[in-house]
Chains A and B, each alone.
Chain A
């Protein structure tokens, strides 16, 4: 059987039927940025960092299936500028103060900011004042100021842990991370630090307690190498924990 091929940035790349663009690119060692996607979870398509151009139209690489002969643009100045704008929008939407965040150095949002040479968030800050911090749980802290609505924790708790601890409540800019307990507090849910949902947050919104700033500067996940140096982005950050 002849090998199935499609093109990424004008170079032929093999793929298997049923693969998404992101999966096929990853298998071929090509970096596709993403935040809401995680290899252990079903594709989501919300963050739009993985936006690529397929035969002239923008698509999400994490949900769009490859077809033979497809022309896919991934690493172009125009797309990278769009990705920088997306990172900027995520920064101004929440309260992202890297110096005070325990996730700094291993944060995927921050690393993508570096990747696309974001020097400032550009847009006017929202400075939301109503994002709740939940420190009720003995082992895990939730800081909604840093939540980027990727829903990794929602999906991990539901699909991997079989627990449904998290949900998204509210619409549009008012959407927040909701917790499945009568009080809305994490301590009153059946959440445990051993849940995969405790370790899957790409930013510093879900943090394991008593673990802060444990890794010296210079040795953190994205200190030595840019996020694009590895296609296994999520795994790197998790190993670093």
Chain B
């Protein structure tokens, strides 16, 4: 990145990340950029993210969202990030089309809860603590819940793909993935 003509430290973009109904694999893949993490630290600082443990997102430039939307909490988190980030990026298969969790979409959520919480004697004890997020009837891709600006597919997208896409965004290029980096698996 170009040195700042005034000698001040370069302006960093503020980055948030979160995992909704995902497996954190996309976050692991972000860490797979290896030594480029140092370069990233020079370009960006993290707001709400598992890397910072910041619980509430403040105003930021880019938010990376992993995972689809499966419950009320996912909706709240997603809305919080949409309200604070200039650019929302759907990262990975689950955020983009529900992915593996969406395999439950062919079943009714009531039937699933009944089956999962039925004990050997046949009694059903579905947890009803208000602390627990309530499940939506289906898993939804995040673009069906809030406006999404960019999509970065992959399960997970490789570290190289994330690096290319993210640096394109940070440096003001149109993000594009060539054949080697574009994957749905």
Instruction: Judge A-B direct contact (beta carbons within 8 Å).
Output: yes
Does A7 sit within 8 A of B, measured CB to CB?
Answer: no
CA distance A95 to B179 in the complex (A): 24
- Contact call B96/A121, Cβ cutoff below 8 A: yes
**Min CB distance, B174 to chain A, in Å?**
11
Judge whether B34 is part of the interface by a CB distance below 8 angstroms.
Answer: no
Contact segment of B7-15, B119-127, B138-146: B138-146
A99 near B106: Cβ-Cβ < 8 Å = no
**Interface size class of chain B, counting residues whose CB lies under 8 Å from the partner chain:** 20 to 34
Looking at the assembled complex, report how far the CB atom of B68 sits from the nearest CB atom of chain A, in whole angstroms. Answer: 10
Per-residue 0/1 for B170-185: is the Cβ within 8 Å of any A Cβ (1 yes, 0 no)? 0000001101001111
Within 8 A of A (CB), among B127-185: 138, 140-141, 143-144, 148, 150-153, 155, 176-177, 179, 182-185
Contact flags (1/0) for A197-237 with B, using CB distance below 8 Å?
Answer: 00000000000000000000100000001100000000000
Q: How far is the CA of A77 from the CA of B93 in the complex (A)?
A: 26
* Cβ < 8 Å to B, chain A residues 89-140: 91, 95-101, 104-105, 110, 113-114, 117, 119-121, 124-125, 127-131
Bits for A145-180, please: 1 = Cβ < 8 Å to B, else 0.
000000000000000000000000000000000000
Residues of B within 8 A of A101 (CB): 185
Partner-binding segment picked from B50-58, B76-84, B97-105: B97-105
Q: Point out the residues of chain A lying under 8 angstroms from B182, CB to CB.
A: 114, 117, 119
Total inter-chain residue pairs, C-beta < 8 Å:
77
Tell me how far the C-beta of A87 lies from the nearest C-beta in chain B, rounded to whole angstroms: 11
| Residue numbers in B under 8 Å from A96 (CB-CB) | 97
Q: Does B90 touch A at the CB level, under 8 Å?
A: yes
Knowing A104-B184, A119-B153, A125-B98, the reply to whether A97 touches B93 (Cβ < 8 A) is yes
| Max chain B Cβ within 10 angstroms of own Cβ: one of A98, A113, A120 | A120
Per DSSP, chain A at the interface is: loop
In angstroms, Cα B144 to Cα A164, docked, is 41
B-chain residues with CB within 8 Å of residue A127 when the two chains form the complex: 98, 102, 105-106, 138
Contact present for B93 and A99 (CB under 8 Å): yes
From B98, B100, B106, B179, name the one whose CB has the most chain A CB atoms within 10 angstroms. Answer: B179
Cα separation A131 to B107 with both chains bound (whole Å): 12
Taking a contact as CB atoms closer than 8 A, the residue among B100, B141, B153 that contacts A125 in the complex is B141
The smallest beta-carbon distance between B101 and chain A, in angstroms, is 10
- Determine if A91 and B185 form an interchain contact, defined as CB atoms under 8 angstroms apart: no
By a CB distance below 8 angstroms, the chain A residues around B99 are: 97, 99
Known contacts A114-B179, A127-B102: A98-B151 contact under CB 8 Å: no
CB distance from A230 to the nearest CB of B (A): 13
CA distance A132 to B36 in the complex (A): 46
Nearest CB to that of B176 among chain A residues? A117
- Taken residue by residue from 48 to 69, chain A's Cβ proximity to chain B (1 for < 8 Å, 0 otherwise) reads as 0000000000000000000000
Beyond A104-B185, A125-B141, A127-B98, 5 extra complex contacts between A and B, CB < 8 Å: A99-B184, A101-B185, A117-B182, A120-B151, A124-B144
Q: List 18 A-B contacts (CB under 8 A).
A: A95-B106, A97-B99, A97-B103, A98-B185, A99-B99, A100-B100, A105-B185, A110-B184, A110-B185, A114-B179, A114-B183, A117-B182, A119-B151, A119-B153, A120-B141, A120-B151, A127-B105, A217-B185
